[in-house]
Amino acid sequence: MGYVHEERWTREGVGAVTAQSLGFMLDAYDLMFVTSLTPILAKVLLPSKLPAWLAYYITLFGYAFTLIARPVGSALFGNLSDRLGRRDTLMITILGFSGMSALTAAIPTYAQVGILAYIIFSIMRFIEGIFIGGEYAAGHAYAIEYSPSGWRGFVGGLLQGAFGVGVGLGGTVVTLFTGILGEKAMYAYGWRYVFLTGLLPAVVAFTLRYLLPDTPVFREVKEKGQLERVPFFSLFKPPVLWVFLQVMLLMTGLFFSSWSLFDFAVGVLTRAGLPLGQAAFYYGIAGYMAIVADTAWGRVSDIIGRRRAFIIGALTSAIVAIPAWYSWYLGATFRNYLLLIIGTVVVGWITQWVWAVSVFTIIRNAYYHWW
């Protein structure tokens, strides 16, 4: 349709990819804190008389409100980004979810306000999820629209790899705080300091976005007067409806795979007998492995094609998933560090690498009338 496509890397393109990588990294960074600190939050937010396993899953359910809210945020801010622009929308979302994450450090405990502590935590998670959903909907399109056409698979992998950076960095931070303060102090007050550390990368991401213009694709569509007044409703009209349903099915499967790592890894490893600090360490290493998997497989998809790369990744993951998780669990149970390392590397790889391909494919299909 004649829209502008970048064919070489520009300073603005590098800035856009960097800013979105930081933004998406913060999503995982906050996630890492909640999931790795779940044993602590369970004691802080819930009555001590609850069985440990029940308190653990109730706390995770509170975090699930973040996931429930993501589609709401994606619809709200995705619609807004098609009208207001990617850049301005992303400045709103980064301030929203990083602010809510930092405010988690200030929530009262069960000892102070009773069950209201858990209710406040769940509400804050829901609000944060709305902003995170918007970050994902607008941010990836922002970065990929700025990328050269021959490198968009790589960029999709790089962006998803940023999620792994957040997991790895978050695991490192929790491990360091636990090592320096000790587990007793972490239960008392250390967990609050952990949540505050996310403010620095949020400031950097916001500044980069503020300094960049909107994407050439969006600017040209706007100049031609082809922006829809309510783009959200286009999702429910064929042929976009069929793409929308396909994307929902695909994303459902991908989330089942990914969140097996992000929601349950620390719980599985600690229940198998690893101390919290060690469980967070191996969880973080799995996140770093996800960076390699996403970036490498995204680039491979630029060479062999998205469809073939996705099929290879999906089939391989299905075959090795159970053995990989079982080796991880056995390694933690028997303190077999070879099995722990193998499980960490394989689980980190297989739960993430197909995301590199799916990100570009989903955005391309969603905006096919622009691209």
Give the amino acid at 281.
Answer: F
262: left (phi over 0), alpha (psi -120 to 50) or beta: alpha
> What percent of the chain has pLDDT above 70?
88
What DSSP string runs through 10-45? Answer: -HHHHHHHHHHHHHHHHHHHHHHHHHHTHHHHHHHH
Mean pLDDT taken over the chain: 81
User: 370 and 219 in contact (C-beta within 8 Å)?
Assistant: no
How many other CB atoms are there within 10 angstroms of residue 148's CB atom?
15
What's residue 209's pLDDT? 81
What pTM was estimated for this model as a whole? 0.72
Q: Which residue has the higher pLDDT, 49 or 158?
A: 49
Going from N- to C-terminal start, the domains of the chain cover 11-366
Mean of pLDDT values over 120-142: 85
Going by pLDDT thresholds of 50, 70 and 90, the confidence category of residue 105 is very high
For 48-59, write each residue's pLDDT tens digit.
Answer: 889 988 888 888
In the structure encoding, which two tokens stand for residue 364, read together?
A: 């391309």
Q: How far is CA 349 from the centre of its chain?
A: 15
**CB within 8 Å of 285: residues ≥ 6 apart:** 168, 171, 344, 345, 348
CA neighbours closer than 13 Å in the CB half-sphere of residue 82: 21
What's residue 136's pLDDT? 75
For 189-223, write each residue's pLDDT tens digit.
Answer: 999 999 998 887 788 888 888 888 877 777 776 77
Cα distances (angstroms) measured from residue 71 to each of 55, 58, 136, 212, 288? 27, 22, 10, 27, 27
What's residue 360's pLDDT? 55
> What percent of the chain has pLDDT above 90?
20
For 294-308, write each residue's pLDDT tens digit.
Answer: 888 888 888 888 888
Mean of pLDDT values over 235-252: 72
What is the three-class DSSP state of 212?
coil
CA-derived radius of gyration, the chain: 21
In the structure encoding, which two tokens stand for residue 201, read together?
A: 């990368």
User: 148 and 8 in contact (C-beta within 8 Å)?
Assistant: yes
Is CATH 1.20.1250.20 what the domain over 11-366 is classified as, yes or no? yes
For 267-325, write each residue's pLDDT tens digit.
Answer: 889 889 898 788 888 888 887 888 888 888 888 888 888 888 888 998 999 899 999 99
What's residue 228's pLDDT? 58
